[in-house]
Amino acid sequence: MEKPRVKVDAISMQPLKNSKSRRKFLKIGGLAMAGSGLFLYGCSSDDDVNNPEPMPGEVFDLGSGDVGILNYAYALEQLEAAFYTNVLDGSYWAGANAEEKLILEDLYDHEVIHREFFKAAISANAETSQVLPELEFDFSSVNFADRDSVLATARVLEDTGVAAYNGAGRLLQTPDFLVIAGKIVSVEARHAAAIRSIYLENDTAFAGDDIIDSNGLDQAKDPQTILSEVGATGFVVTEFSANNLPQ
């Protein structure tokens, strides 16, 4: 029996006392990611070949096995990179204090690196037809001139990203991909902590009970749950299916 189609229709603060330490915290995470073998797989110079446009009326399926999980992560990273692109183009970021501007700029840089890694990794390790196309997004529900709107959305996306990687890691079969996914989720967790620390007034919100369980572990959610939650945001316009993802 075919799994239900996931229509990602619109897949859709108080600063810390030592802002330099938090900035260094993000930088260390980014440097670790850059030196982790992130670009182990070469990028193709022909984007049209490795990122083909679907035929009219065709719905792209993420695929099965490791390719399906990589496409799943690629979709989430496309979403985050697109969101932070809009953030840096918005008037809230332009007028934000220096600490918040630097943090959001770092997050943008990291998400673009993650997005490009997955595109390159899938292109190098799968048939070209299996690479998820570039997705279209609609962020009209986010007010990029308003601090609360931007940071509340960033909090949701970063918390979702951590739970997504934690839930999908066990499904990967290739050791190299599992290692890299573990490194990426550590960076995503830094993102989530940074956003929470500048947006939520509670000093312990960076590791709040809403995201950390009684065993002191981050949430982990399976792909179908994550895709349902992301679809409910209304951010993703491009429809795709996830009928063959491993469970």
Give the Å distances, CA to CA, from 40 to 3, 71, 116, 201.
33, 17, 12, 40
pLDDT of amino acid 213: 59
pLDDT of amino acid 126: 62
Closest CA to 191 of 157, 214, 216: 157
Q: Residue 95: count other Cβ atoms within 10 Å of its Cβ.
A: 11
What is the total count of domains within the chain? 1
pLDDT of amino acid 174: 86
pTM value surpassing 0.95: no
Residue 229 CA from chain centroid, whole number: 13
pLDDT of amino acid 31: 37
Phi, psi of 243 (to 5 degrees): -75, -20
Q: Look at residue 61 and give its three-state secondary structure.
A: strand
Query: 117 in a domain, yes or no?
Result: yes
Q: Which CATH number covers residue 31?
A: 1.20.1260.10
Query: 52 in a domain, yes or no?
Result: no
Distance CA 168, CA 235 (A): 21
Closest CA to 11 of 117, 156, 150: 156
Q: What is the pLDDT along the chain (247 residues), one digit of tens a residue?
A: 333 333 333 333 233 334 444 444 444 344 334 333 333 333 333 444 344 455 556 899 999 999 999 999 999 999 999 999 999 999 999 999 999 999 999 999 999 999 999 999 888 876 666 899 999 999 999 999 999 999 999 999 999 999 999 999 889 888 888 888 888 888 888 888 889 888 877 666 556 556 565 555 567 899 999 999 999 999 999 999 999 998 7
Query: 18 in a domain, yes or no?
Result: no
pLDDT of amino acid 215: 56
Query: 42 in a domain, yes or no?
Result: no
Query: 216 in a domain, yes or no?
Result: yes
Domain membership of residue 194 as a residue range: 25-36+61-241
